[in-house]
Chains A and B, each alone.
Chain A
Amino acid sequence: MLLNIIDPALIDWSRAQFALTACYHWLFVPLTLGLAVVMGIMETLYVWKKDPFWKRTAQFWMKLFGINFAIGVATGIILEFEFGTNWSNYSWFVGDIFGAPLAIEGIVAFFMEATFIAVMFFGWNKVSRGFHLASTWLTGLGATLSAWWILVANSWMQHPVGMAFNPDTVRNEMMDFFAVAFSPVAVVKFFHTVLSGWMTGAVFVVGVSCWYLLRRRERAFALASIRVAAVTGLVATLGVMFTGDRSGIDVARHQPMKLAAAEGLRRGGTQAPFSIVPGVEVPGMLSVLATHDVDGFVPGIDDLLDGYTAPDGTQHLSADERMRRGRLALDAFAAYRAHAKSDPAAAAAARKVMDEHMDHFGYGYIASRSDLVPPVTLVYWAFRVMVGAGCLLLLVLAAMLWYGRGGRLAAKRPLLMAGLWSIPLVYLAGQAGWVVAEVGRQPWAIQDLLPVNAAVSQLSPASVQTTFWLFLVLFTVLLVAEVRILCGAIRKGPEGDELLPAGEGR
């Protein structure tokens, strides 16, 4: 018997499963992106200086790259297909736009990655040095291109552009490919996310190298790795901060509720203060961050729900009004469907009403205005963890570079400890960032257009619960295995005798 209602438990479990897969996937992807750059630089140094020291250094990090890569691929395939399996309504409703970046990702990026990773791992004795170097960089480029397209897809959900709703096909249809593929929101998101991946790879290399120095092992290898990684990491961190600032502006403009939730801001205004932790505020700072103007207006959660008038005189509707207009749009849509074949005049009239209220379409599915507020505490703290960890990492990486000059680093044991502990920190920052981005936009699968309750596949909650637990157990076992294998490989160290650069005697 099919029940004609969506069970709230189904939505919760479907969200939980998607979140679980995404969180696990993001444990592996940033390391792939970051290590690709670090080992690319190292192999370039090898080809340039013809010093086998750099070859073996690059090879060591490639080995860790390979261990991490497979599990990233494994979690990624689930993520792609979950759009269909668990969000089937979504897949039709916006598949005309959303499918394209996923297909391009496969054709352009995944094949590049898959082809050249094989050359990178198996081609050392089979292809020329130049071809091998190119393969290493192309593997990283493939991973980065794949990030581009999937972040284009994600950005489109946060800020849908370049499409129009077609009531005959009951879906949104793409009108402007370049608006989707090169949306400014996507550009900012891409650099913010990919550079955070570089940070992760760099901090990982720094941390592991610090461990060797703490153990008084592999000194030359560790110091050289830190040099390459700290520079990469520092550049990346500054880039992450710059793009983070830009995305603050984007969020304030396109997803004000997310911003208000991330600040726990009930009532906003001009000269809005920034909360560092509850009770500690910097006056005017939030206005600066959100609008780059200390007198900029930032609405709070209640302003957004009640409706407000911005200082420039723009009226913003209340949530109840938007929900009312959303229902009008949905009713007009139903009327259009009913009359489309029989009564063209009635259909045209319904279409006119629908188009008029289309901006509020998604609000028609919202049952109560409290559903429009994301979990404030979670988003608030995730944001602070992300920014706080980022600032700490900047300090650690800068200190590594500073003391790295003249070989003083090996004696700075507290700094080496800090380097080691930066590894969990950088992962925490990345996960927290995605929590802000994704939890902060609830209840929207697509901002203002489709809430999660209208996006989900009609399954029994028990089915989704089963696959949730299945994936949780599976991914956790694989994660434990991966971490243990990585630790084993690190403990073993680079292959062969202790590595020394050319020209340095024993």
Chain B
Amino acid sequence: MITYAFLQAYWWFLVALLGGLLVFLLFVQGANSLIFALGGNEEERRLIVNSTGRKWEFTFTTLVTFGGAFFASFPLFYSTSFGGAYWLWMLILVSFVLQAVAYEFQSKPGNVLGRTVYRRFLVVNGIVGPFLLGVAVATFFTGSAFVVGKSAMADVAAPVISRWANAWHGLDALANPWVWLLGLAVVFLARTLGSLYLINNVDDAALAPRIRRQVLTDAVPFVVLFVAFVVYVLTKEGYAVDPVTQAVSLAPHKYWHNLVAMPAVAVVFVLGVVLVLYGVVRTLMSPRFVRGIWTAGAGTVLAVLALLLLAGYNDTAFYPSTADLQSSLTLRNSCSSEFTLRTMAWVSLLIPVVLAYIAYAWHAIDRRSLTRSELDKDEHRY
């Protein structure tokens, strides 16, 4: 039976899946943050930039679609978080704007700022983007300070439904040290994935050993930060929703209970983590193994998917409010109407088609790894 509750869960699953794909595709940002660290000379830096430059549109588009899907399915989140955590989202957006132009502009004469500045834009986006996205996701577990009052719409002087409860407008998230853990974990994950992607996508004798060493440099801090954050989340109290009254209350070990209550999610989570570790370890052990990005990438999608499902399923408030517990956003109180969710569910059937042509086109472009000589004769390069 396709009930309203089922549609809410279905759309939360799709949003979580898009979130997972987005974090996987942050390998573009991760690799870009290493342009200067890995690329010892201009030729090497050009190889890295041109390698990620063939994929950046996917990351960017996934970010936009993640926003659009969230808007269509859970508009109260869109309105409360984007309008409230204003600075957090604005900084993320600005960093992606800088990235979008940097590729096409960097090597062209007359670009005003010069090649190095545009590449620094890529580095800035490569660190700030993943960090702040990680911070934003961490607030799904730690909560944010906002108040939602729908009746305010009748107040002619100030018809404002969602209000942020402090003047920091999103930067307040950084006051919580646990949030930093996930932000930094995502940065190091993106860098690890970035290196794994370069190993797969670039065929260059000089760069290869350096990239493999870099995998270790980034994977170790990632694992430490990620494990610390997961332990924190599984042991902290969480925001439980009463299935009957919809009242939100703090429940000890809520996310741990969610994991136990949903064995499928637990399996997905463990499988994701194992795949990430397998991709990393095998790349480190065997110098000829180049497919780490696929195992670690798939693992990333699964692990992030599972984390976001933990935040929203099993009667949990996915965007909790610390200022007013009852303002917390749940799947039920923040979602679109049944009609809209059902209509959009039909549209979502196109997603496999989209994924199929992406895979086909990706394969067509990447049949051979990128080399210096190909770059010299290519008609379009950055």
**Residues of chain A whose beta carbon lies under 8 Å from any beta carbon of chain B:** 2-6, 59, 63, 66-67, 69-71, 73-78, 80-81, 83-93, 95-100, 102-108, 110-119, 121-127, 131, 135, 166, 169-171, 173-175, 177, 327, 330-331, 333-334, 337-338, 364-365, 453-454, 457-460, 463, 467, 470, 474, 477-478, 480-482, 484-485, 487-489, 495
Q: Please give, as numbers and ranges, the residues of chain A lying within 8 Å of B104 by CB-CB distance.
A: 66-67, 69-71
B100 located at the interface, meaning its Cβ lies under 8 Å from any Cβ of chain A in the complex = yes
Q: Please give, as numbers and ranges, the residues of chain A lying within 8 Å of B58 by CB-CB distance.
A: 114-115
B94 located at the interface, meaning its Cβ lies under 8 Å from any Cβ of chain A in the complex = yes
In the complex the two chains form, what is the Cα distance from A106 to B82 in whole Å? 18
B42 located at the interface, meaning its Cβ lies under 8 Å from any Cβ of chain A in the complex = no
Residue from the set A103, A327, A457 with the largest chain B CB neighbour count within 10 Å: A103
For B29-56 the 0/1 string (1 means CB < 8 A from A) is 0000000000000000000000000110
Some 27 contacts from A to B, beta carbons below 8 A apart, are: A2-B165, A3-B158, A59-B379, A66-B380, A71-B100, A74-B96, A83-B71, A85-B82, A86-B83, A89-B83, A99-B336, A103-B347, A104-B344, A107-B348, A107-B354, A115-B361, A135-B361, A166-B337, A169-B337, A177-B339, A330-B156, A337-B150, A337-B151, A365-B156, A453-B159, A458-B83, A458-B158
User: Would you call A119 and B351 a contact (CB within 8 A)?
Assistant: no
Q: Please give, as numbers and ranges, the residues of chain A lying within 8 Å of B82 by CB-CB distance.
A: 81, 83-85, 88, 91
User: Would you call B112 and A481 a contact (CB within 8 A)?
Assistant: yes
User: Would you call A485 and B105 a contact (CB within 8 A)?
Assistant: yes
User: Would you call B364 and A131 a contact (CB within 8 A)?
Assistant: yes
User: Would you call A67 and B108 a contact (CB within 8 A)?
Assistant: yes
User: Would you call A78 and B361 a contact (CB within 8 A)?
Assistant: no
CB distance from A21 to the nearest CB of B (A): 10
User: Would you call A111 and B354 a contact (CB within 8 A)?
Assistant: yes
User: Would you call B68 and A102 a contact (CB within 8 A)?
Assistant: yes
User: Would you call A4 and B158 a contact (CB within 8 A)?
Assistant: yes
CB distance from B14 to the nearest CB of A (A): 10
CB distance from B52 to the nearest CB of A (A): 12
User: Would you call A127 and B79 a contact (CB within 8 A)?
Assistant: no
Q: Please give, as numbers and ranges, the residues of chain A lying within 8 Å of B55 by CB-CB distance.
A: 118
User: Would you call A174 and B340 a contact (CB within 8 A)?
Assistant: yes
Q: Please give, as numbers and ranges, the residues of chain B lying within 8 Å of A330 by CB-CB distance.
A: 154, 156
Q: Pick the contact of A114: B57, B80, B103 (CB < 8 A).
A: B57
Given contacts A84-B82, A103-B69, A488-B108, contact A74 B161 (CB under 8 A): no
User: Would you call A100 and B72 a contact (CB within 8 A)?
Assistant: yes
Across the A-B interface, the 7 shortest Cβ-Cβ residue pairs? A88-B83, A95-B75, A84-B82, A106-B65, A99-B72, A484-B110, A457-B83
Interface positions of B from 328 to 382, Cβ below 8 Å from A: 336-337, 339-340, 343-344, 347-348, 350-351, 354, 357-358, 361-362, 364-365, 367, 378-380
User: Would you call B79 and A485 a contact (CB within 8 A)?
Assistant: no
User: Would you call B340 and A173 a contact (CB within 8 A)?
Assistant: yes
Partner-contacting stretch, out of B84-92, B210-218, B229-237, B284-292: B84-92
Given contacts A80-B64, A105-B68, A177-B343, contact A115 B54 (CB under 8 A): no
User: Would you call B75 and A99 a contact (CB within 8 A)?
Assistant: yes
Q: Please give, as numbers and ranges, the residues of chain B lying within 8 Å of A485 by CB-CB distance.
A: 105, 108-111
In the complex the two chains form, what is the Cα distance from A113 to B58 in whole Å? 10
User: Would you call B361 and A91 a contact (CB within 8 A)?
Assistant: no
User: Would you call A108 and B379 a contact (CB within 8 A)?
Assistant: no
Q: Please give, as numbers and ranges, the residues of chain B lying within 8 Å of A6 by CB-CB distance.
A: 157-160
Q: Please give, as numbers and ranges, the residues of chain B lying within 8 Å of A121 by CB-CB distance.
A: 380
Residue of B nearest to A2 (CB): B163
Q: Please give, as numbers and ranges, the residues of chain A lying within 8 Å of B327 by CB-CB distance.
A: none
Residue of A nearest to B160 (CB): A458
In the complex the two chains form, what is the Cα distance from A170 to B75 in whole Å? 12
In the complex the two chains form, what is the Cα distance from A103 to B72 in whole Å? 6
Given contacts A117-B57, A474-B94, contact A96 B337 (CB under 8 A): yes
Residue of B nearest to A331 (CB): B154
Q: Pick the contact of A458: B153, B163, B351, B365 (CB < 8 A).
A: B163
B275 located at the interface, meaning its Cβ lies under 8 Å from any Cβ of chain A in the complex = no
**Residues of chain B whose beta carbon lies under 8 Å from any beta carbon of chain A:** 54-55, 57-58, 60-61, 63-65, 67-69, 71-73, 75-76, 78-84, 86-87, 89-90, 93-94, 96-97, 100-101, 103-105, 108-113, 150-151, 153-165, 167, 169, 336-337, 339-340, 343-344, 347-348, 350-351, 354, 357-358, 361-362, 364-365, 367, 378-380
Known pairs A87-B83, A106-B65. 7 more at Cβ < 8 A?
A: A2-B165, A6-B160, A70-B103, A95-B78, A99-B68, A103-B72, A111-B354
Q: Pick the contact of B65: A73, A103, A334 (CB < 8 A).
A: A103
Secondary structure at the B interface, as helix, strand, loop or mixed, is helix
CB distance from B375 to the nearest CB of A (A): 11
Given contacts A6-B157, A111-B358, A337-B151, contact A106 B61 (CB under 8 A): yes
User: Would you call B71 and A96 a contact (CB within 8 A)?
Assistant: no
Q: Pick the contact of A77: B54, B63, B79, B108 (CB < 8 A).
A: B63
Given contacts A67-B108, A92-B76, contact A78 B364 (CB under 8 A): no
Given contacts A81-B67, A174-B343, contact A484 B111 (CB under 8 A): yes
In the complex the two chains form, what is the Cα distance from A247 to B134 in whole Å? 46
Residue of B nearest to A73 (CB): B100
In the complex the two chains form, what is the Cα distance from A80 to B158 in whole Å? 24
CB distance from B95 to the nearest CB of A (A): 11
Residue from the set B55, B57, B75, B158 with the largest chain A CB neighbour count within 10 Å: B75
Q: Please give, as numbers and ranges, the residues of chain A lying within 8 Å of B165 by CB-CB distance.
A: 2
User: Would you call A487 and B101 a contact (CB within 8 A)?
Assistant: no
Q: Please give, as numbers and ranges, the residues of chain B lying within 8 Å of A327 by CB-CB distance.
A: 156
In the complex the two chains form, what is the Cα distance from A425 to B105 in whole Å? 26
In the complex the two chains form, what is the Cα distance from A4 to B155 in whole Å? 9
Q: Please give, as numbers and ranges, the residues of chain B lying within 8 Å of A2 by CB-CB distance.
A: 163, 165
Q: Pick the contact of B350: A107, A171, A484 (CB < 8 A).
A: A107
User: Would you call A103 and B344 a contact (CB within 8 A)?
Assistant: yes
Residue from the set B60, B79, B157, B365 with the largest chain A CB neighbour count within 10 Å: B79
Q: Please give, as numbers and ranges, the residues of chain A lying within 8 Å of B344 by CB-CB distance.
A: 100, 103-104
Given contacts A81-B89, A122-B54, contact A88 B111 (CB under 8 A): no
Q: Please give, as numbers and ranges, the residues of chain A lying within 8 Å of B157 by CB-CB distance.
A: 4-6
Q: Please give, as numbers and ranges, the residues of chain B lying within 8 Å of A333 by CB-CB distance.
A: 153-154
In the complex the two chains form, what is the Cα distance from A114 to B87 in whole Å? 28
Q: Please give, as numbers and ranges, the residues of chain A lying within 8 Å of B156 by CB-CB distance.
A: 327, 330, 364-365
Q: Please give, as numbers and ranges, the residues of chain A lying within 8 Å of B87 by CB-CB distance.
A: 463
User: Would you call A84 and B113 a contact (CB within 8 A)?
Assistant: no
In the complex the two chains form, what is the Cα distance from A74 to B60 in whole Å? 9
CB distance from A479 to the nearest CB of B (A): 10
CB distance from B149 to the nearest CB of A (A): 10
Q: Please give, as numbers and ranges, the residues of chain A lying within 8 Å of B367 by CB-CB distance.
A: 126
User: Would you call A74 and B100 a contact (CB within 8 A)?
Assistant: yes
User: Would you call A119 and B101 a contact (CB within 8 A)?
Assistant: no
